[in-house]
């Protein structure tokens, strides 16, 4: 599987070669592969999803890059990596799945594990315009998640909000760049979001869950795909 252009664009101006990296929220391993390809000395790829951990491991299992990879099935809020041990932290598409309390705890972990001079790259999605059809699907996903877990599934942070969050935590802002504009929300993306909504809806009481699940499925089918919104990359640095 190729490394997506959003990952290579976000890493292009960052020093990766010979660095100890934390890939926060490994997902399917896109940024993990990008960091290893760019010559990282070691990549700690962390996810709290066992299936994602397996996919990320398997992605480089057959080649020499696996010697430089440690996949950790762990919670970033309570991560057992040593203080001051990481030279580059990446969070590609992580923040939108963290509610504000989780974001704050994860930001504290980043600050703790970062060595002097550490670089931080935060790539995420800006809030969608009110006219975006996918907003309604994400709203249904969030409604089901709120009812099932007490918190949202998705939070789209404006880049300025994340910039203030990390600068407030001691990082110096370096640069912002656009990775996608518009963002192509494909049929596969929308059906994955409908799946999450359905999973949460299954835990909702009465026929409310059935109605939320049906609405998520109907929206994903009706929308099909949509190109809307912006994906951005923020880069920060700690003093050396
Ligand atoms: C959208 S994926 C990120 C994609 C990935 N960075 C890539 O480049 O392919 C979000 C990931 O964050 C993980 N995640 C969310 N909250 C987490 C937490 N508190 N601790 C660890 N992983 C978390 C999810 O399990 C998932 O693997």
Measured from the Cα of 91, ligand 1's closest atom is: 6
End-to-end CA distance of the chain: 36
Gap from CA of 33 to ligand 1 centroid (Å): 15
- Mean per-residue pLDDT of the chain: 97
Gap from CA of 77 to ligand 1 centroid (Å): 12
The pLDDT tens digits of the residues spanning 7-26 come to 999 999 999 999 999 999 99
Gap from CA of 75 to ligand 1 centroid (Å): 10
Gap from CA of 207 to ligand 1 centroid (Å): 31
Q: What is the residue whose two structure tokens read 């057959």? A: 62
Q: What is the CA radius of gyration of the chain?
A: 18
The pLDDT tens digits of the residues spanning 87-143 come to 999 999 999 999 999 999 999 999 999 999 999 999 999 999 999 999 999 999 999
Measured from the Cα of 34, ligand 1's closest atom is: 8
What are the residues whose beta carbons fall under 8 Å from the beta carbon of 90, sequence distance 6 or more? 10, 11, 21, 22, 23, 24, 31, 35, 120, 121, 123
Residues forming a β-bridge with 90:
23, 121
Which residues form the pocket of ligand 1, taking CB atoms under 6 Å from any ligand atom? 25-31, 46-49, 52, 75-77, 92-94, 97-98, 102
Of 48, 64, 56, 51, residue with least CA distance to 98: 48
Measured from the Cα of 28, ligand 1's closest atom is: 9
């Amino acid at each position: 599987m190729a490394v997506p252009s959003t990952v290579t664009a976000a890493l292009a101006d960052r020093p990766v070669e010979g660095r100890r990296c934390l890939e926060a929220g490994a997902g399917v391993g896109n940024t993990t592969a990008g960091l290893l390809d760019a010559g990282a000395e070691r990549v700690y790829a962390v996810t709290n999803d066992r299936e994602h951990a397996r996919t990320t491991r398997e992605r480089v299992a057959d080649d020499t890059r696996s010697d430089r990879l440690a996949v950790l099935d762990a919670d970033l809020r309570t991560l057992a990596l040593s203080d001051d041990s990481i030279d580059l932290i990446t969070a590609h598409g992580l923040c939108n799945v963290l509610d504000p309390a989780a974001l704050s705890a994860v930001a504290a972990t980043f600050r703790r594990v970062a060595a002097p001079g550490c670089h931080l790259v935060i790539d995420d999605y800006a809030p969608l315009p009110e006219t975006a059809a996918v907003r309604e699907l994400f709203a249904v996903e969030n409604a089901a998640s709120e009812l099932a877990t007490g918190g949202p599934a998705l939070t789209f942070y404006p880049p300025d909000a994340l910039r203030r969050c990390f600068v407030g935590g001691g990082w110096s802002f370096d640069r912002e760049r656009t990775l996608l504009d518009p963002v192509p929300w494909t049929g596969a993306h929308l059906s994955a979001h409908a799946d999450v909504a359905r999973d949460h809806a299954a835990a909702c009481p009465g026929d409310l869950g059935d109605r939320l699940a049906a609405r998520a499925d109907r929206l994903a089918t009706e929308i099909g795909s949509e190109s809307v919104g912006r994906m951005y990359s923020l880069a920060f640095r700690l003093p050396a």
